[in-house]
Structures are given as C-alpha cells and as structure tokens.
Amino acid sequence: MTGLAEYHERGLLDEPTAALADAHRLMRQAQQAVDYHREHLRRLLFDEPVVDTTLADRIDRSIGHLRQAAATRDTHRDAVLAALVKLQSASPAQPDTSAAPDLSAPDTAALLAIACGAKLHENLLTQRLSVITASGTRIAYSALQRLESAGLVARDASRPVHAGVPLTLTEAGRATLTGPRRTNARGTPSAVRTGAWPPPAARAHR
C-alpha cells in the first residue's frame, strides 16, 4: 500500500481507489494505537514492582483504552473491506490500462510532471507557448500536444492562455501512470527540460 499512498498524494487515484487508500491509512493508525496500549498494559502487568490498588486502577484504565483502540481499529477495518467491495464493483468501468498508449520515456516523464501540477503559458511578446510545472520544470509544447492527442491530458479552456491555463490528467492519463509501464526505447529528444529556453541543441545552430 506504500505505492498506493504515494499515488494518492499526487492525486492520481480515482475515487474508489482513493477511498481505499484513506481507509487503509486510518486502519494502520488505529492498529498503531492498539499496539501502544497493549505494550503499556504489558509493562503494568510485568514490570511494576509493587502491586496495589493504585496499580490495579491503572491496569483497569489501560484495559479500557486498549478495548476502545481495538474497537476503533475494527471499525476502520470494516471500512477497508467496504472500500474493497466498492472498488471491485467499480472495476469494470475503470479505464482499460491494457489499451494505454505506448508512450516514450520522455513523454511518460512529461505526463508525470503534469500530474504534479502544471500550467500552459503564452508569452505576450513572442506568442511562444510553453508548459511550466509546479516544480519549475519546462515541458515542450509539442509534448503537451502529443499527450492531449492521446487523450491523457486536458486543459481548462475557461482560462486565458496569457494568465496560465491549468492542465490536468484525464482518467486515461491517470490509468497510464498507475498501470503497468509500457514505455518504448525510441530515441526521441527529452520532453522535459530544466533551465534556459531554447534547448542547447537549438542554441548550437545559431
């Protein structure tokens, strides 16, 4: 579930899978509470040198805490089971990852960068279009066009380009990232670049 939690933080999961990730996280936290109270009770029973009424009261309270923690854990466990059932019932409607496009490694990297947040900008002077991600990475506009043509990325048409158009992954785009990797080995130039514009190859021909 570690990989699932990572995808959840990036917002790559659909609603049923995200619900499962949330339920599992809460169950794991509840289990940690059970382990804590059980260890505390063990210390009271076996490590305390003096047995008196005060210790008995502490043991009673510890048992109560352990009982409550176990009940909370069981509640979250039931939620995990319910989320699994919902996910299984929704699975036929999920995108078919076997039909996902055969992306090159650079385009896969561009898709992953857009998943973390990106906007399409237009330079008011040159009218040059470029994609800037939340981390400051620049993505070639041609790469965005390929991803849009493949139905993997969508843009918010309600925003003007000069103000920055938010880009998001479609269901097919999320399925492409979360499904089995099927990148090819074509020698295409990298779609994701950092630093100055244009790329070094273009500057070399000036």
Give residue-wise pLDDT tens across range 113-149: 888 888 998 877 878 888 988 777 788 889 899 999 9
- Is residue 12 packed enough to be buried (19+ CB in 10 Å), middle (13-18) or exposed (0-12)? buried
Sign of the Cα pseudo-torsion (70, 75, 78, 83, in order): negative
pLDDT number for residue 4 = 58
Structure confidence at residue 140 (pLDDT): 86
Higher pLDDT, 187 or 82: 82
Question: pLDDT tens, 38-57?
Answer: 999 999 999 988 889 999 99
- Residue range 165-185: average pLDDT? 74
For residue range 13-22, what is the model confidence (pLDDT) as tens digits?
Answer: 678 888 888 8
- CB neighbours (10 Å) of residue 41? 17
**Single pTM value for the model:** 0.46
C-alpha to C-alpha distance for 118 and 127, rounded to whole angstroms: 19
What is the mean pLDDT of the segment spanning 70-92?
A: 83
